[in-house]
Amino acid sequence: MRLQGKVTLITGGAAGIGRATAERFAQEGATVVICDLNEAALQEVTATLGPNAGGYKVNVADRQAVQAWIDEVEAKYGQIDVLVNNAGIVRDGQLVKMKDGEVVKMMTEADFDQVIAVNLKGSFNCTQAVAPVMMRQKSGVILNASSVVGLDGNFGQTNYVATKAGVIGMTKVWARELGRYNVRVNAVAPGFTATDIISAMPEKVLDGMREKTPLGRLGAPSDIANAYLFLASDEASFITGAVLRVDGGLVVGT
């Protein structure tokens, strides 16, 4: 029961790694509050997380909606101990695609802006809203979802890689700024993980992912959830500003 008595927030908590993390935190005694845009999934997951759990429909890219969520959670529970900035989207495409010397396609400005708004600004919005609560408490943990592609880059993911690299930079800044308040900030960088989106890919693509991963398999959402659990717990009380790769030894592009 490593999170007994802790109030934990998880964005994008209704599916994939977010859901696995919510379930893992609940097993360890946490009061789990998730947000997502999928209302049906929100209700389903919240019902499995215990009597004190909460589920809210929140767009993390909307600063006012995020602030209202944080204010309501603090008023209801009286504290916020852990924030996991998990919510994220992908809108893949090459920067510029050429054929026979002609530009045939580009990543659209809308696709770039949308990924930045959710993955990068969303993490900023949630952290800025929750930080004063933790600073007043003189305790708290903020965990940010990065990715191995934020460290290694990846073909066709200019927007996504920019957000995941940016999250690492923000993690290091916030660790410096919030450390004096006993607030720890770390990032987790998953490799290829068997979420619904990846699992739906053709088997040939999945085989390629496994072959590039030295441990020879995809990560399970629970693998990432366990990393979040460790960093959220008091066992990691002297770890801040770190980026923990959970990737089976993967180096993207090799």
Q: What is the structure's pLDDT at 27?
A: 97
pLDDT at 254 over 60: no
The proportion of the chain whose per-residue pLDDT surpasses 90, expressed as a percent, equals: 87
- Mean pLDDT of all residues in 118-145: 98
Confidence of residue 138 (pLDDT cuts 50, 70, 90): very high
Structural domains of the chain sorted by starting position, each given as residue range(s) with its CATH number in brackets: 7-246 (3.40.50.720)
Listed in sequence order, the residues at least 6 apart from 175 whose beta carbon sits closer than 8 Å to its beta carbon are 184, 185, 186, 240, 241
Phi-psi bin for 12: left (phi > 0), alpha (psi -120 to 50), beta? Answer: left
Question: Is 77 among the residues known to form the active site?
Answer: no
**Catalytic residue (choose from 56, 77, 160, 181):** 160
pTM of the model: 0.94
Over residues 99-103, mean pLDDT: 96
Question: Tell me, what's the pLDDT at 197?
Answer: 72
pLDDT tens-place string over residues 143-170: 999 999 999 998 999 999 999 999 999 9
E-strand stretches of the chain: 7-11, 31-36, 54-57, 82-85, 96-99, 102-106, 140-145, 183-190, 243-246
For residue 253, the model assigns a pLDDT of 67
The whole-number pLDDT of residue 85 equals 98
CB count within 10 Å of CB 71 equals: 12
Residue-wise pLDDT tens digits, 29-47: 999 999 999 999 999 999 9
> 175-199, pLDDT tens digit by residue?
999 999 999 999 999 998 988 777 7
Would you say how long the chain is, in residues? 254
